[in-house]
Amino acid sequence: MSFELPALPYDRHSLEPHLSATTLDAHYSGHHLACLKRLNARLENTGQTAGSLELLLWSEDEELAWLAAEAWNHTFYWHCLSPWGSATPDARLGADIDTTFGSLSALHDAIEAAALNHFGSGWLWLVRRSRGPLEIIITGDGQTALAADRTPLLGIDLWEHAWYLDYQNDRAAYLKAIRSLINWDFVTQNDLNPISIAPPAQ
């Protein structure tokens, strides 16, 4: 079994004018698909079985783990965006955001500040720690926020290919655009039904 490119949850024009169909096509059919092709080739070359992306995150093969993380991150990212998503989180998550960051607007500001302070590629995440608090973290390059002690609620791609065709070197403009696209319904569901990950049994 090999990994296939999952369907986008919306039409490629649906995120315009914030993200163009040209950007989505290059990002989805270009970068995401290329990552999956490399992942499948690596699996074939090493003789390993595909299993799930989540299990491959624990692989001792660093390239395999990296490719699995990038593939997982991209699929998660597509669902974090939506032209139809609710404008705000549900009451419970909204209250936690207010407690941690002050307001939803302040959370957006904190996300943008963290992303702009990060040099290079990577991913920005809003996560909930296993002990309860919300936190913004950044993972470098292709690393993922999915871990035993935290669950990702929101993920934002900080690789230049996510915005360069629309915003050139203006990461701040991309982040402003993302504000209008966050699928808070999906974010809320991730909070209500945390993604569970644990290392495979030895």
- Domain membership of residue 95 as a residue range: 91-192
124 CB contacts (<8 Å, ≥6 apart)? 111, 114, 115, 118, 136, 137, 138, 155, 156, 158
Residue 169 forms part of a structural domain: yes
**pLDDT band at residue 200 using 50, 70 and 90 as cut-offs:** low
Stretch (H or E) spanning 156: strand 150-157
Question: What CATH number is associated with residue 73?
Answer: 1.10.287
Give me the chain's average pLDDT, please. Answer: 92
Residue range 64-93, pLDDT digits in tens: 999 999 999 999 999 999 998 777 899 999
How many structural domains is the chain composed of? 2
Contact residues for 107 (Cβ-Cβ < 8 A; gap 6+) = 97, 100, 101, 126
**Strand ranges across the sheet with 122-129:** 134-140, 122-129, 150-157
Report, as an integer, the average pLDDT of 51-55: 88
Question: How sure is the predictor about 8, in pLDDT bands with cuts at 50, 70 and 90?
Answer: very high
The verdict on residue 199 lying in a domain is no
- Whether residues 31 and 97 fall in one domain: no
Q: Which residues are annotated as a binding site for Mn(2+)?
A: 27, 74, 157, 161
**Within this chain, do residues 36 and 105 fall inside the same structural domain, yes or no?**
no
Domain assignment of residue 133, yes or no: yes
d(CA 55, CA 201): 11
**Residue 38 banded pLDDT, cuts 50, 70, 90:** very high
**What pLDDT is stored for residue 132 in this prediction?**
86
pLDDT digits 0-9 by tens, 134-189: 999 999 988 999 887 899 999 999 999 999 999 999 999 999 999 999 999 999 99
**Burial (CB count within 10 angstroms: exposed 0-12, middle 13-18, buried 19+), residue 193:** exposed
Same domain, 95 and 185: yes
pTM confidence score: 0.94
Q: Which residues are annotated as a binding site?
A: 27, 74, 157, 161
- As to burial, measured by CB atoms within 10 angstroms (0-12 exposed, 13-18 middle, 19+ buried), residue 52 is exposed
How far is the C-alpha of 61 from the C-alpha of 181, rounded, in Å? Answer: 35
